[in-house]
Each structure stands twice: as structure tokens, then as C-alpha cells.
């Protein structure tokens, strides 16, 4: 299957600072990438849909000024958590949809563990 | 509004036996369903999918069954292996115009005992 990478795999930052997470599709071009957040023992919650060359579409309740998404190329999307606070500590996962006729499979990155102190 | 539900948070089976994971959905616009496997601190791994035009899809030890009238799908793993122990998420998607957004269930922790 398609391979999606994320960097960094884990990061610890101080409250008030910003953190950037990268998501790359390694062997295919992804016009659409997705950013999820997962709290312990809970489901994956879609935060936003990242579209190459256009603005991201945010889910209800997700602050677009706090979670900045940039999809500058067909293989890279970035999520920047601005002015991070301890409540932003979570597991962030990206996914990319490999274009295939009739297929909706999304391939996920390994995730990034963010801890805000 | 939980549109995709996995009512069993956990399931324990013996190695070699069948594991059956269940998933229910409420949105009749969903027409594509997927199962993902997830280990702690890792991203989900795609397992198997099924389109609403089918009622069964099989891939090796994994078979997904879809009952559209009941809005229910299940994942069968036969035979179960200890390495199958993980959290399994079912997910659903609408038509192409929805942007291929996936709606996930809460997950079921499967434990396969040797």
C-alpha cells in the first residue's frame, strides 16, 4: 500500500510556542490530505481536510487560526499548532488519499505525539 | 451524533478461533466502508474495505460482511493470531462529492490469547 510519513514522531514544547508537523506521501501524489487528532482510548477525530493549492476545510469546533494547515505540494501538508497549550497535548495523525477509481482508502502516517508543558 | 458505532469496546478470543468485530452506522448516505487496525502510538493501517454494492469482501484471513438493510457491517478474522491483537476501527465514507471524509467508530480492542 501507499506510504505516508510524519515528522516529528514526538515533540515536547513549552506552553505558548508553536509546533509544526509535516505529513508526506512518499510514493504517490495526494491532492487531499486529512488531519486527525486522537485522545487516549477515543476514536480518531477529523480536524481538517487539506487541499493542495487551496485553503483547508476545518471541521466544526476546530480553530483554524490555531491549527494552521498548509498543503503546498502534492506530497506535503503541514499542521502548525500555534500558541500551544497543555490541552493541545494529543496524538496527531495525518492521512492521504491515494487516487484510485472508486476507492476511498486513506493511508495514515505513523502519528505525532505532542506534549505541551 | 455518532454516525458510526462500535458497541463493543473490547473482545477477547483464543488463538486459532474466529474473531468477529461489529459496526453499525446510521447515515444511509454512506456507501463505502473500511476497517483499520491500530497499534498504540502508531497510525491506523488499512485492512479491508467494501462498497455498498457488495455484501462480502474477502482478503486472506479477513472478511468483511455488509448488511445494508440493517446498516451493519462486521469483520471476521479466521484464524485469529496473537499478532492480530490491536484496536480495530471501522470507518464509513459517503459519495465522491463528500470529499472522501471518513467517519470512524470508537474502536474495538481485540486481544488474541495464545
- Helix, strand, coil proportions of chain B in percent (round to 5)? 5, 55, 40
**pLDDT for B8-40, tens place per residue?**
999 999 999 999 999 999 998 898 899 999 998
For residue A31, the chain B residues in CB contact (below 8 A) are none
Interchain CB distance below 8 Å, A106 and B45:
no
| pLDDT of residue A43 exceeding 90 | no
For the residues A25-54, what does the mean pLDDT come to?
88
Say if A57 is an interface residue toward chain B (CB within 8 Å). yes
Say if A97 is an interface residue toward chain B (CB within 8 Å). yes
* Helix (H) / strand (E) containing B42: none
For residue A6, the chain B residues in CB contact (below 8 A) are 43
**pLDDT for B28-81, tens place per residue?**
889 889 999 999 888 999 999 999 999 999 999 999 999 999 999 999 999 999
Q: Kindly report the number of other CB atoms within 10 A of residue B56's CB atom.
A: 10
Check residue A100 and give its pLDDT: 64
Is residue B96 classed as helix, strand or coil in its secondary structure?
A: helix
Residue B105 Cα, gap to closest chain A Cα (Å): 6
Q: How far apart are the first and last CA of chain A?
A: 37
Amino acid at each position: 500500500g501507499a506510504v505516508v510519513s510524519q515528522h516529528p514522531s514526538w515533540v515536547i514544547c513549552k506552553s505558548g510556542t508553536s509546533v509544526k508537523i509535516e505529513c508526506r506521501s512518499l510514493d504517490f501524489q495526494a491532492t487531499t490530505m486529512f488531519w486527525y487528532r486522537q485522545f487516549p482510548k477515543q476514536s480518531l477525530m477529523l480536524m481538517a481536510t487539506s487541499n493542495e493549492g487551496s485553503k483547508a476545510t476545518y471541521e466544526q469546533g476546530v480553530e483554524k487560526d490555531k491549527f494552521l494547515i498548509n498543503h503546498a505540494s502534492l506530497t506535503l501538508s503541514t499542521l502548525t499548532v500555534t500558541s500551544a497549550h497543555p490541552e493541545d497535548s494529543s496524538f496527531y495523525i495525518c492521512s492521504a488519499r491515494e487516487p484510485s477509481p472508486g476507492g476511498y482508502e486513506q493511508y495514515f502516517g505513523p502519528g505525532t505525539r505532542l506534549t505541551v508543558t | 451524533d455518532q454516525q458510526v458505532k462500535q458497541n463493543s469496546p473490547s473482545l477477547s478470543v483464543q488463538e486459532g478461533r474466529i474473531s468477529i468485530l461489529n459496526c453499525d452506522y446510521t447515515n444511509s448516505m454512506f456507501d463505502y466502508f473500511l476497517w483499520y487496525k491500530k497499534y498504540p502510538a502508531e497510525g491506523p493501517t488499512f485492512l479491508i474495505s467494501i462498497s455498498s454494492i457488495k455484501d462480502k469482501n474477502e482478503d486472506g484471513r479477513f472478511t468483511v460482511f455488509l448488511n445494508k438493510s440493517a446498516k451493519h457491517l462486521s469483520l471476521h478474522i479466521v484464524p485469529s493470531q496473537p499478532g492480530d491483537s490491536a484496536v480495530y476501527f471501522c470507518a464509513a465514507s459517503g459519495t465522491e462529492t463528500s470529499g472522501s471524509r471518513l467517519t470512524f467508530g470508537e474502536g474495538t480492542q481485540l486481544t488474541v490469547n495464545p
